[in-house]
Amino acid sequence: MLIGIFGGDTGGRTIDDVVGDARLAERDGFASFVLPQIFGLDAMGVLAIAGREVPRIGLATGVVPTYGRHPVTMAQQACTVQVASGGRFTLGIGLSHQMVIENMFGLSFDKPLRHMREYLAVLMPLLIDGKADVDGETISTHAGIDVAAQSEVPVLVAALGPKMLDLAGRVTNGTMTWMTGPATLSDHTVPTITAAAERAGRPAPQIVASLPICVTVDVDAARERAAKDFQIYGFLPSYRAMLDREGAAGPADVAIVGDEATVTSTLGQLADAGVTEYVASIFGSRDERAVTRALLQSML
């Protein structure tokens, strides 16, 4: 199992700050540097710059919402990052959440599975062949792009439920999860998407999983901090469903917290579940963060 670093929210940070974090992640030997698309810097814009300045580490988005970006635009941006990085970019995409898409973006969140199916029907041909000829119920595209990507851009879908996992397994390179615990990954996520890929005659999917992590001697304080820092994910329906499936009361219960032996054991559970890459979302005090990062480095 590979180990990457989650770059975190870019709000209030400079491009130099973020590129510097990518450079440190590469220096420390991590497999990837992953940025979310929230309301700060544009993730793919920053990763294109990082791709030119940081020469070896894998780069990925985790994740870019599909609503609000036509698949032609998404494909152009992804291929641009792929060219800038010399073939080291992975495009992570997702639906986001109804409260964001409807309340903030003012768009319809009706039938999200249909949306993603039609979105991928346009996006994947554009990334593979540079052209799409698709008539859908909500997305129709008859267009091409001319971006000379040095290699095909892998696509990971933030798939949690069984139907989205089936779609991701059939037409993309895999999935990228958040707030999904080891038992759920083992019993639900990995077997569902793997079976879909097998039925479609596709290679074994990438399973990229991210969870908060903190090596600490004060477990109770760390879990209390996780409950506060990540509380929103306990209320968003898609993540709430995964927490319920895991038997977790909230995000603090799936955070990887404990001494070095405990954290190492939990990461081993992720690997045993079939996770191909763990993206570390490190939290805690300054000292705890340093110890956590050092442990992760020792496991590379």
As a whole number, the mean pLDDT across the chain is: 97
What average pLDDT does the segment 291-295 reach? 98
Asked whether the predicted pLDDT for residue 149 surpasses 80, the reply is no
Q: What percent of the chain shows pLDDT beyond 70? A: 99
Can you list the alpha helix ranges (DSSP code H) found in 108-176? 112-129, 162-171
Domain limits for position 248: 2-298
Give me the CATH number covering residue 34: 3.20.20.30
Confidence of residue 139 (pLDDT cuts 50, 70, 90): very high
* pLDDT category of residue 288 using cuts at 50, 70 and 90: very high
State mean pLDDT over 33-38. Answer: 97
pLDDT tens digit sequence for 247-256: 999 999 999 9
Q: Is the pLDDT of residue 20 over 80?
A: yes
Tens-digit pLDDT profile for residues 108-118:
999 999 999 99
- Whether the Cβ atoms of residue 279 and residue 6 lie closer than 8 Å to each other: yes
Residue 150 is predicted with a pLDDT of 64
Output the pLDDT for position 132.
97
Share above pLDDT 90 across residues of the chain, in percent, rounded to a whole number: 98
> Which own/partner pairs from 118-122 qualify as long-range (CB within 8 Å, at least 24 positions apart)?
119/66, 119/71, 119/93, 120/155, 120/157, 120/167, 120/171, 120/172, 122/71, 122/72
Specify the pLDDT at position 173. 98
The answer to whether 134 and 118 have CB atoms below 8 angstroms apart is: yes
pLDDT given at position 148: 78
Tens of pLDDT, residue by residue over 194-239, are 999 999 999 999 999 999 999 999 999 999 999 999 999 999 999 9
pLDDT at position 67, please?
Answer: 97
Chain centroid offset of residue 82 CA:
17
DSSP state of 40: S
State yes or no: pLDDT of 174 exceeds 90.
yes
Q: What is the pLDDT of residues 46-101, one digit of tens each?
A: 999 999 999 999 999 999 999 999 999 999 999 999 999 999 999 999 999 999 99
- Is residue 290 within a helix (H) or strand (E), and if so which, with residue range? helix 286-298
Q: Number of folded domains in the chain?
A: 1
